[in-house]
Structure 1
Amino acid sequence: MEVSDIMRARTSRRSYTSSPIPKDSIEKLQDTIEYLNRKSGLHIQLVLDGEAAFKSFKKTYGMFSGVKHYFAMVGNSSDPLLHEKVGYYGEYLVLVATELGLGTCWVGSSYDAQNCNCEILAGEQLVCVITVGKSPESLSSRERLVLSMVKEKSKKYDELYQYDKQPPEWFWDGMKAVELAPSARNRQPVQIIYYNDVIYATTGQFQYNKIDMGIAKLHFALGAGGRFELGEHGRFYKDEETV
C-alpha cells in the first residue's frame, strides 16, 4: 500500500474483536518498536494482556469495548520534547499497524493508567496509550456517533497552513497528509507555515497539542517526502529520511 492509502484507511477504532493479533504481525510491531525506541530514546511497549486498563466504565466512559492490546507510550519525563516524540513516533507505529490490517486509537486519558500493564522505569512517565487489535469490519453505533461528533469540529483545509508565496507542489502533498492526521478531539491545532522558503510547524503550548504536533509533522514528512525537526518551529528538510 502507498502511504497515502494507509493514511486514508486509518480511522480511530474503539471496538475490538476477540481475535488475537497474528504472530507475524506481533513480530513486525515489536521490530518496529525496537527501531523507534533506538531512534527516539522512548520506551514504547506493546502490551498484549492489557484488559485491566479498560475494564473501568468510570475511566473509559463506556467508549471502548474488547480492548486487550495497546502500545504504552512511555518516555523520559525530563525530556522537553517527550510529548512531540510520542506523537511523531507513535503515529508511525499506528500507520504500520494500519497496513497490517489492525485497528488503533489514540487514548489520552479515558483509561485506567494505574492498571496499565507496562514497565515504567525511574525518571519515566506513561504519556498515553494507543489501542491496537482486530476490529469489526463495520463501525459500531458508538464509533459512528463519535466519528460524526469529531467531524463537526474539523477545521477547513485552508486553516491548516499559511504561506507568504506559492509553495512548491510537494508542499500540498504534505498538507493532504496533514489533513488526514488524527488529533485530540479533532481540534487540529497544528499549522504548517511556509515563509521565506522555510517550512515549520506551530501550535499552542498545551502538552497534548505537542502530541498532535508530532502526529501532524509525521504526516507532512511522509506526504511531502522528508524529515521534520522536533520542537516548536522545527524546520522541514526535503528528501531526508523521515524516521
Structure 2
Amino acid sequence: MLKNIDWENTINSRRSIRSFEMRPVEEEKMHMLQSFIGGMKMPFRHNVTIRMFKANPNKKLYTAFSSPPDNVAFITTTDNCSIATAGFIGEILILYATSLGLSTCWYGHYLLTELERVMPHLGAYTELENAKWGYGKGEVEGERAICITPLGYWKQEGVRLIDRMQTSFFSHKRKQISELMENDIKEENLPPEILYALDLARKAPSAANRQHWRFTVSSDFKTISIAMPVGYKHIKWEHPNVDIGICASHFWLGLKIKNIDCKVSLREEQGRVVWIFEI
C-alpha cells in the first residue's frame, strides 16, 4: 500500500484547496483510489469507513465554496479515540490523492442535511435532533461523518484574495520542532530518523493552522508520544483530536520511510487522545 509513493514530497506539496473545477475525477484515478482504500492496512485496530460520494456543484455542502462532483467522507463512532483514527486514516488517503494530482480540503463544518441528502448515512438516527454543521460535538449514538473532503482539481481563476494570501503564506507557516517538544530532550540530540519523522509530523495541516500537537520523546528514544496539551480548547473546531491523528499519521509515515518498525497505540488520557509509538 505504501510503496512506490513519494510521501515526503507529497506532504511538502499538499495544500488545502477551496476553489475547484466542476469536472469529475477520471475513472482511472477513481479506481486507483478505491483500490488503495481496499488495501489500506493500519498499525492499529479501528472502525473507520471511507465512503466516496457525489455532490451537486453548489455551496450547500461546504457553504464556503462550491463542491466538485467527487467527494470523500470519513465515518466512524464519535468517541475521542475513533475520531483521532479518522484523522490518521483520512490523511493517508488524502496524501495518496495528492500524489495522483488531486486537490483536497479537510472539512468538518459541512451542512449535515445536505450530506445526508447526497450520501445517506444516518440510518436510524435520521430522526434525532442532529446538529446543523458537521455531526455536532460530544459522543453520540451510532456512526457519523467526522470530516469530509472534496476531491478534484484546483481552479485558480476567481480565487478570493484571502485564499491567495493563505495559499502563499499563512497556512504553510510551521512551528519548529523545538517549540513542540514537551520534555527536556533537545532537538539536536534526537536520532536522525526520529528527527526526520518529527519534521514530517510538524508539517501536518490543522484547523486554523493552530498546530496544537506536542511531542514527548523518552530518554532512550524508544517511545514517542503525540498529543495536544492537557486542557487544550480550539477556538472554533470541536474535534481537535482529528488534527492530532493527522499529525500522528505523518510521524508514522516518516518512520516507515526510514524503515523503522514500531508498535502504534492510542488511548484517551486527561480528556485528550495520546498516540504512542514504541520503536
**Same fold judged by TM-score > 0.5?**
yes
1:8 equivalent to 2:12? Answer yes
Q: How many Å apart are 1:29 and its aligned residue? A: 1.3
**Cα displacement string for residues 138-183 of structure 1 (whole angstroms, at most 9, x for unaligned residues):** 8934421333674487534422224434221111111210122101
- Specify every segment of 5 or more residues in structure 2 that has no aligned partner in the other structure, as ranges: 125-141, 268-272
User: In the alignment, which residue of structure 2 is the partner of 1:230?
Assistant: 266
User: In the alignment, which residue of structure 2 is the partner of 1:127?
Assistant: 146
User: In the alignment, which residue of structure 1 is the partner of 2:250?
Assistant: 219
Say if 1:51 and 1:69, in contact at 8 Å, map to a contact too: no
1:183 equivalent to 2:206? Answer yes
With normalisation by structure 2, the TM-score equals 0.73
State the identity %. 26
Alpha-carbon separation, structure 2, partners of 1:192 and 1:217: 10
Alpha-carbon separation, structure 2, partners of 1:237 and 1:94: 25
| Number of residue equivalences | 231
User: In the alignment, which residue of structure 2 is the partner of 1:42?
Assistant: 48
User: In the alignment, which residue of structure 2 is the partner of 1:241?
Assistant: none
**Cα displacement string for residues 98-121 of structure 1 (whole angstroms, at most 9, x for unaligned residues):** 011000000111x32211122424
What are the equivalent positions in structure 2 for 1:52-201 lying under 5 Å apart? 55-56=59-60, 60=63, 63-77=64-78, 79-109=79-109, 111-116=110-115, 117-120=118-121, 121-122=123-124, 123-136=142-155, 140-142=159-161, 143-147=163-167, 150-151=170-171, 154-165=174-185, 166-197=189-220, 198-201=223-226
With normalisation by structure 1, the TM-score equals 0.82
Alpha-carbon separation, structure 1, partners of 2:179 and 2:99: 29
Alpha-carbon separation, structure 1, partners of 2:148 and 2:240: 16
Say if 2:19 and 2:156, in contact at 8 Å, map to a contact too: no
AA matched with 1:191: R
Alpha-carbon separation, structure 1, partners of 2:23 and 2:254: 32
Say if 2:226 and 2:248, in contact at 8 Å, map to a contact too: yes
Residues 35/75 of structure 1: CA separation in 2 closer, same or farther (3 Å cut):
farther
Residues 222/80 of structure 1: CA separation in 2 closer, same or farther (3 Å cut):
same
Residues 75/233 of structure 1: CA separation in 2 closer, same or farther (3 Å cut):
closer
Alpha-carbon separation, structure 2, partners of 1:131 and 1:230: 28
1:30 equivalent to 2:34? Answer yes
More helix by share: 1
User: In the alignment, which residue of structure 1 is the partner of 2:127?
Assistant: none
Q: How many Å apart are 1:132 and its aligned residue? A: 1.2
Say if 1:190 and 1:203, in contact at 8 Å, map to a contact too: yes
- Specify every segment of 5 or more residues in structure 1 that has no aligned partner in the other structure, as ranges: 239-243
Q: Which secondary structure does the structure 2 equivalent of 1:91 belong to?
A: helix
Alpha-carbon RMSD across the aligned residues, in angstroms, is: 2.8
Pick the structure with greater CA Rg. 2
- Report which stretch shifted further, 164-173 or 186-195: 164-173
Q: Which secondary structure does the structure 1 equivalent of 2:249 belong to?
A: helix
AA matched with 2:276: R
Alpha-carbon separation, structure 2, partners of 1:8 and 1:138: 24
Alpha-carbon separation, structure 1, partners of 2:177 and 2:157: 27
